[in-house]
Every structure is written in structure tokens, then in C-alpha cells.
Chain A
């Protein structure tokens, strides 16, 4: 079985301050992990992915995430928030074995960026 938990449903930061969006996962196999962003009335856009290569993954728009197997975490960070980062963010685990081909989505974290 696989699951993903986004630990915060809402995160609010000021523009120019760091962003941390937390994600824990559970998987019977070494997982593939993804972060997606969704702006209002749009589909999901891939930010970055982890597929068992480097544990620190760099994505688009200055985001990065670190895979920590011992903590079963894949937290998303950005050093300095921009107003355009305000959106909903989804952590996704994608499986193997009996979960092959299926992705499990977290419930999402809404990021608010204050001027």
C-alpha cells in the first residue's frame, strides 16, 4: 500500500521569506515522488520529481525538495517566496508492484504569499 500526507493544509509566508511545504509518504517499495503546483482554474503542473537518483532534487521556479528515506519525507522548499508562488501544491507518490502505474495524491497545501 502507499499513502502520502501533507502535514499542513495552509501555509502563509511573506514575500521574500523561505517556503517550507511538508510531505511524508508511505510505500512498500522505493517510491517515485513528485511535487505539483496548481494555480486557480488550471491543471496541475510538475515542479520536480524524485526517482531514486540524487536525494536533493531541483525543480522549476527555484523550488527544490530533499528525499529523506529515514524520515519518509519529501519536503518542498524555496529560499525566497514570490507573489506568483501563491497556489495549491500537491505531493504525489507513485508506486510499483501492486500499485504499479497508480499515483496517490496528497490533500494539497494552499500557499498564501503576503506582500
Chain B
């Protein structure tokens, strides 16, 4: 089974801090994703990555950056944390199948990091 591990289940930080959320997957997946989940707003894509050192903006990238130096690790960075970034953050990974049409591989999710910014 694919395992996606997020480094922290719960995290409390202060406004203005630089915050790192780490995600590691163990199945050699090419694609990795960061989402945030908020009541009434569902899951929203922040950033995704198709390969090492590659990144693409999602729907709500403002205030965030990402790093993918190794295939198995995808980090989300809050450059200067603000209270409106208090949320549940979910990391996911998926396989990229050569010759297959994009999008037909399911994503595998970590258990999430509940981040509070005070």
C-alpha cells in the first residue's frame, strides 16, 4: 500500500513565522499535491508537482511556496504565516503512467496536518 506521511498531525505557530509542512511518499510517485481543507470550502489545491524541482500553481497559491528537491518529498512553506492560513493541510501523491491520459490515476492522501496560526 502507498503510504503518504505528513510530518505533523497538529501544529501551532504564530503570525509572521515561516512554517514548513513536510510530506513524504514511499511509492516512487511522480506527482505530489498540497491542498487545504476548510469547512464550507471543500478541498482547494495550493500547489502540485509533476517531477523533482518542478512545481505548478494550483487554485490558491498566494502566501505559499513549495519545494521538491527529492522525488519522495514535497514541502509546503508558509513564508509569513497569517491567521487566515489556519486550516487542515492535506498532501497527496499519484502515479504518472507513461502514455496514459492524465488524470486517471487516483491520489493517495496523508492524514493531514491541522495548522493553527495564533
**Given A31-B103, A44-B90, A44-B107, 9 additional A-B pairs, CB 8 A:** A32-B103, A42-B111, A43-B110, A43-B112, A52-B104, A94-B102, A100-B103, A101-B48, A108-B42
Cβ-Cβ contact count across A and B, 8 Å cutoff: 65
Task: Say yes or no for A84: interface residue by CB 8 A criterion.
Answer: no
Task: Say yes or no for A66: interface residue by CB 8 A criterion.
Answer: no
Interface residues of A, count at CB 8 A: 26
**How far apart are the CA atoms of A45 and B108 in the complex, in Å?**
7
Interface residues of B, count at CB 8 A: 26
**How far apart are the CA atoms of A43 and B9 in the complex, in Å?**
11
Contact check, A100 vs B112: say whether CB atoms are below 8 A apart. no
How far is the CB of A31 from the nearest CB of chain B, in Å? 8
A residues with a Cβ closer than 8 A to B are 31-32, 34, 36, 41-46, 49, 51-52, 90, 94-96, 99-103, 105-108
Query: Which chain B residue lies CB-closest to A108?
Result: B42
Contact check, A106 vs B42: say whether CB atoms are below 8 A apart. yes
With a cutoff of 8 Å between Cβ atoms, the chain A residues found around residue B102 in the complex are 94-96, 100-101
With a cutoff of 8 Å between Cβ atoms, the chain A residues found around residue B90 in the complex are 43-44
Query: Which chain A residue lies CB-closest to B88?
Result: A41
Task: Say yes or no for B12: interface residue by CB 8 A criterion.
Answer: no
Interface centre among B4, B31, B106, B111 (most CB of A within 10 A): B106
Contact check, A49 vs B106: say whether CB atoms are below 8 A apart. yes
Residue in A44, A95, A99, A107 whose CB lies within 8 Å of B109: A44
Residue in B9, B48, B101 whose CB lies within 8 Å of A102: B48
29 contacts between A and B (CB under 8 A): A31-B103, A32-B103, A32-B104, A34-B106, A36-B109, A43-B109, A43-B110, A43-B112, A44-B90, A44-B107, A46-B106, A51-B104, A94-B102, A94-B103, A94-B104, A95-B103, A96-B103, A99-B103, A100-B102, A101-B31, A101-B50, A102-B48, A103-B45, A103-B107, A105-B43, A106-B42, A107-B41, A107-B42, A108-B42
